[in-house]
Chain A
Amino acid sequence: MISSDVIRGYNDTMILYMLLDGESYGYEISKNIRKLSEEKYIMKETTLYSAFTRLEKNGYIDSFYLDETFGKRRTYYRITPQGLAYYRAKCEEWQITQEVINKFIKEL
């Protein structure tokens, strides 16, 4: 299990990645993150929703409602052009971060 401290800066990136292929909603996103990370990372409910709030405030995603069966309403999120640009920037940042950190990692 990865500590939430280490991964904090990249929660937003992960959520944006999940939205690259199209709109999605809270549980689906967290389920896919868990699946993709091979159960090594489980994003907490509150982490997910504070990220949604933050991303939406910054204009990286927008939300809309879709009515599900049985009259339940669900909030869906989709990525905006600014969000896409932000995602690319974060990817570059990670490449560099990874390169740098890797220089300090060796097997003992």
Chain B
Amino acid sequence: MDTIIGYLNNMFGSLPKTEQMAMLKQELLGNMEEKYYELKHEGKSENEAVGIVISEFGNIDELVSELGLGEVRKEEGLSMLPMLDELAVEGFIAAKKRSGLLVGWGVGLIMLGAALLILISGLGENGFMGNVFSEDAMSMIGLIPLLLLLGPAIALFIYSGTKMEKYKYMESGFSLPYPLEAYIEQRQSAFAATYTLSLIMGVCLCVLSPIAIFVSSAFGDEYISYGVAVLLIIVAVAVFLFVYYGNIRGTYQRLLKTGDFSEEKQEEKKEEDRIVGAVAAIIWPLVTCVFLVSGFVFDQWEINWIVFPLTGILFGVFSSVYNMFKKKDAA
């Protein structure tokens, strides 16, 4: 029944909201409702009943022309938001999926680079390459794969960003024809199980990843760095799952304007971003100044880096406390 109400709302969405219209809509809804319950009573399934009722609705333009609304509709009825068609939606979903895959690989590559860095410097510490390179040289060599992987990763980020440029117009709002919305909803609910599975797998991988360290430390302390490398690779797989499937979920939410992309959330976010962004713009340069001054003037290089993680944590606390108070005020 909700589908029918949604369909009717959508049909009337672009028509002027007068009392006459409201009554006509109510009347049509009453008829459709009666037809729906009769069909159900005859033993039709939910989908069949809804399908028949909607297919026998007809064409709203017929009513519009009879009511002499043609002109009104053209002037103010149709909203200015671009209407997406099936092609645009399919294109957007495919593009988002591809860009999610690219970003997922990018993040994965960076983590792989970090894992290799630790692995190579671990090899160095253990003197495996001692006859060729010194320990210091090994930790420098470790940076090479990290940097080599960082390059393609950033290229992937930029490339996927430019690919999405085409769909930038969607940020300023869009509207969907009803059947398409219903179709996307269907796909979203079909995807829900996959998403949950990927989430569970990702979390399990993260939870289990420290096992690599325990196992390696059982062989001796000098093997711990290999454990860390394995841990990072496991986490990289988990992060890939989060990024890739989370992105697909985000695509549906964006199209249906639900979850993080609902209108009120968007408003809230804009406000939050503004305040938190303003504070960040002051705090981070200030912290950098403290870092540089304490380093150059007081020569505290070995300890002063702590200001960054410390500020990061404090800033995180600030923004969540700020959001909490904000929500309280709103409530």
Contact = CB atoms under 8 A, between A and B. Distances in A.
Interface stretch (A13-21, A44-52, A81-89, A100-108): A44-52
Contacts of A50: 62-63, 65-67
Contacts of B30: 26-27, 72, 74
B306 to A, nearest CB: 70
- What is the size category of the interface that chain A forms with chain B? 10 to 19
Interface of A: 26-27, 30-31, 42, 44-47, 49-50, 53-54, 72, 74-75
A12 to B, nearest CB: 12
Nearest to A44: B58
Contact of A46 (B23, B34, B35, B62): B62
Closest 6 CB pairs of A and B: A44-B58, A46-B58, A50-B66, A27-B31, A46-B62, A26-B31
Given A46-B58, A46-B60, A54 B66 contact: yes
Contacts of B164: none
Contacts, number: 48
Interface of B: 23-24, 27-28, 30-32, 34-35, 56-60, 62-63, 65-67
A83 B233 CA distance: 82
B56 A42 contact: yes
Contacts of A31: 35
A44 B66 contact: no
A72 B63 CA distance: 23
A48 to B, nearest CB: 8
A44 B59 contact: yes
A30 B27 contact: no
Contacts of B28: 26, 45, 49
B27 A46 contact: no
A47 B31 contact: no
Contacts of A53: 63, 66-67
Contacts of A44: 56-59, 62
B32 A45 contact: yes
A44 B31 CA distance: 11
7 contacts: A27-B30, A44-B59, A45-B28, A45-B31, A49-B24, A49-B28, A54-B66
A25 to B, nearest CB: 8
A47 B62 contact: yes
A67 B58 CA distance: 27
Contact of B59 (A30, A42, A46, A75): A46
Contacts of A27: 30-31, 34-35
B63 to A, nearest CB: 5
A47 B62 CA distance: 7
A49 B56 CA distance: 13
B137 to A, nearest CB: 80
B31 A30 contact: yes
Nearest to A72: B30
Contacts of A49: 24, 27-28, 63
B57 to A, nearest CB: 5
Contacts of B27: 26, 49, 74-75
B57 A46 contact: yes
B18 to A, nearest CB: 14
Contacts of A74: 27, 30
A1 B280 CA distance: 68
B20 to A, nearest CB: 10
Contacts of B59: 44, 46
A60 B205 CA distance: 74
Q: Which of B31, B35, B65 gathers most chain A CB within 10 Å?
A: B31
A107 to B, nearest CB: 33
A31 B32 CA distance: 11
